[in-house]
A and B are shown apart, each in its own frame.
Chain A
């Protein structure tokens, strides 16, 4: 296979940047959440690539990167459910999902 670890790490880095850019520029709270999901996916790609290209003997077949990816998926699902519940609760109170207008925690 002509593919190396660098291919996957660079792909993950590019994807992470796109997600970071979206999370920093979007004003809709749901769009920010979608950008964060893209960033989590980029990290998962990187971790699974590390797991695949790991040939150091006692660790190579322990699939540590894949186990980490499973935990990240778990936490991401919990985070998505909680964040969307919060967005819906805020929408009920304020009739907006614009993060520029949600400033209840600002002093």
Chain B
């Protein structure tokens, strides 16, 4: 077994175990802390796949910002005297949920491994516009693919994403504001 496989299996086991802790814990603060492990391990998977920029973004946004946001929300919505802060649904509903999620997972795994769609199809020539040569540096390549005005890039979706973020910021402030 080579080094990459070893690292993959270590990360995968820790990732799945931490995700199980997130959905299994009775205390929701412990769930939120296990979520940090999930995000950090996912970042390790991204590093393994040569996506350095997204690995850093994952640490910054998910492990940093989103987890802090979740912990703040937990702090602000605490109900005094409640022991089980992360309760489950009724047993019947849990059994149904278990069956549904298992079926979905088996469906995805079937589609990815044994079905005939798993074989690769020949690519059609659909690219339009000038495709510039991209540097091998991951950050520079992603920057060029996101912002470049003249080459093949995702500049318009990027601008739309900025508007989405702006609307989300304004909406979050308006919704959570204390009414007079």
CB neighbors of B among A22-52 (8 A)? 22, 24-28, 30-31, 33-35, 37-38, 41, 44-45, 48-49, 51-52
Q: Is the CB of A85 within 8 A of B175?
A: yes
Interfacial chain A residues near B87, Cβ < 8 Å: 26-28, 98
Give which listed residue, A26, A78, A87, contacts B73 with CB less than 8 A. A87
Interfacial chain A residues near B169, Cβ < 8 Å: 81
Chain B proximity mask over A45-88: 1 for CB below 8 Å, otherwise 0: 10011011000111101110011011101111111111011111
**What does DSSP make chain B's interface, helix, strand, loop or mixed?**
helix
* Total count of chain B residues near the partner, CB < 8 A: 86
Given contacts A22-B22, A30-B70, A73-B54, contact A13 B112 (CB under 8 A): yes
* Total count of chain A residues near the partner, CB < 8 A: 75
For the complex, what is the distance from the CA of A23 to the CA of B10, rounded to whole Å? 26
Interfacial chain B residues near A78, Cβ < 8 Å: 164-165, 167-168
Q: Is the CB of A73 within 8 A of B57?
A: yes
Chain A proximity mask over B64-98: 1 for CB below 8 Å, otherwise 0: 01100110111011010000011111000110111
Q: Is the CB of A91 within 8 A of B77?
A: yes
Interfacial chain B residues near A30, Cβ < 8 Å: 28, 32, 70, 73-74, 77
Given contacts A10-B112, A30-B28, A48-B46, contact A21 B168 (CB under 8 A): no
Interfacial chain B residues near A27, Cβ < 8 Å: 87-89
A-to-B contact residues, CB < 8 Å: 1-3, 5-22, 24-28, 30-31, 33-35, 37-38, 41, 44-45, 48-49, 51-52, 56-59, 61-63, 66-67, 69-71, 73-82, 84-89, 91-92, 95-98, 100
B-to-A contact residues, CB < 8 Å: 1-2, 4-5, 8, 12, 15-16, 19-20, 22-23, 28, 31-32, 35, 38-39, 42, 45-46, 48-51, 53-54, 57-58, 61-62, 65-66, 69-70, 72-74, 76-77, 79, 85-89, 93-94, 96-98, 100-102, 104-105, 108-109, 112-113, 120, 123, 125, 127, 131, 134, 138, 141-142, 145-146, 152, 154, 157, 161, 164-165, 167-169, 171-173, 175-176, 178
Sample of 4 further A-B pairs with CB below 8 A, known A20-B105, A85-B175, A86-B175: A1-B4, A13-B105, A14-B105, A69-B54
